[in-house]
Amino acid sequence: MVTTEKIMKNLIDQVADIITTSKLTIALTGAGISAESGIPDFRSAEGLWSKFDPNEYASIASFMSDPEKVWLMLREMDDLVSSARPNKAHLGMSELEKLGYLHCIITQNIDNLHQSGGSKNVIEYHGNSSTLSCMWCGRRFRSDEKRNEYPPRCECGRILKPDVVFFGEAIPEKALNKSFMLASSAQALILIGTSAVVSPANTIPGITKRNGGKIIEINKEKTHLTDSITDVFLQGSAGNIVSEIVEAVKNIKRQ
Ligand code: APR
């Protein structure tokens, strides 16, 4: 009888084969990769959007009309992000980069955990919460300079905005262009912890697929991509699965 462990081991070996033969491998990560660092994702049962309606708290229009209210949600995120540490998935991804098997990570996350986990080549689609900017006078601050000041204010007196992309704001041009260029030439794309429902990040897998690249998906549950464009689906926690992939890649390298 073939056990689930055996099936998973076989899938891990398949993924390690793809990664070690691919000439250009990239990753697209979402909130699920940081869940094991204590940061809830958005759309799972206990996700952030089950507590805060994104239309009321996560659009640039809501921030402009009532920044103090939006900072109620931002403060909750800030408390979690500031105490979060990279988990096995972040560390495993930076190890793949060091081994030369991962060229770049495109992340939708704002928690800086890929960088603090050692990854060098990271494209941030939705910005980074470690800095705040004044929309009136342009001054910029590090978030930890203004920690426990809610809402944080600029020296000019205005409420500061975190350097993250709200709904209704554009993705940084450079991030878009570089990610589309990489996605079109990637021979393998590793999707980790994303429901792939938010555009334009969710167009990346289709670009790689159309150009003949292999789609590897790591998620604790199926998404709309799993039975459509995903080539290898690894169901479970990102931390465990990424660690097993790194071990399998190292075994191939040792042969
Ligand atoms: N391991 C693997 N997958 C996980 C884990 C885990 N430990 N925990 C959660 N997941 C999966 C969930 O099953 C879900 O499919 O991660 C995915 C998270 O999806 P979302 O909460 O929708 O997060 P994300 O895809 O990053 O959202 C994209 O939406 O709200 C905006 O700007 C926000 O960047 C965010 C964007």
Q: What pLDDT digit, counting tens, does each position of 154-181 carry?
A: 999 999 999 999 999 999 999 999 999 9
Tell me the backbone φ, ψ of residue 131, rounded to 5 degrees. -130, 155
Tell me the backbone φ, ψ of residue 189, rounded to 5 degrees. -125, 125
Question: Which amino acids are annotated catalytic?
Answer: 126
pLDDT computed for residue 110 by the predictor? 98
151 preceded by cis ω (within 30°)?
A: yes
- Strands 214-219 vs 161-164: parallel, antiparallel or unpaired: unpaired
Residue 66's pLDDT band (cuts 50, 70, 90): very high
Residue 71's pLDDT band (cuts 50, 70, 90): very high
The set of protein residues with a Cβ atom below 6 angstroms from ligand 1 is: 30-32, 35-36, 41-44, 47, 54, 108, 126, 193-195, 197-198, 219-221, 223, 237-238
| Euclidean distance between CA atoms 164 and 187, whole angstroms | 30
Residue 142's pLDDT band (cuts 50, 70, 90): very high
- Overall average pLDDT of the 15-30 stretch: 98
pLDDT tens digits for range 183-218: 999 999 999 999 999 999 999 999 999 999 999 999
The one-letter code for the residue type at 147 is R
- Overall average pLDDT of the 94-120 stretch: 98
In this model, does residue 53 exceed pLDDT 80?
yes
- Overall average pLDDT of the 126-141 stretch: 96
Q: Identify the H or E element spanning 15.
A: helix 4-21
**Cβ pair 178, 204 in contact under 8 A:** no
What are the structural domains of the chain?
Answer: 1-39+85-126+170-255 (3.40.50.1220), 40-83+130-164 (3.30.1600.10)
pLDDT computed for residue 2 by the predictor? 77
Tell me the backbone φ, ψ of residue 25, rounded to 5 degrees. -115, 130
Q: Which of 29, 34, 41 to mutate to test the pocket of ligand 1 (most atoms within 8 A of CB)?
A: 41
Percent of the chain with pLDDT over 70: 100
Percent of the chain with pLDDT over 90: 96
pLDDT computed for residue 255 by the predictor? 86
Q: Which atom of ligand 1 approaches the CA of 49 most closely? A: 30
**Cβ pair 243, 88 in contact under 8 A:** yes
Q: Which atom of ligand 1 approaches the CA of 31 most closely? A: 26
In this model, does residue 148 exceed pLDDT 90?
no
* 3-class SS string, 138-198: CCEEEHHHHCCCCCCECCCCCECEEEECCECCCCCHHHHHHHHHHHHHCCEEEEECCCCCC
Residue 3's pLDDT band (cuts 50, 70, 90): confident
pTM, full prediction: 0.97
Comparing CA positions, the residue from 159, 141, 139 lying closest to residue 150 is 159
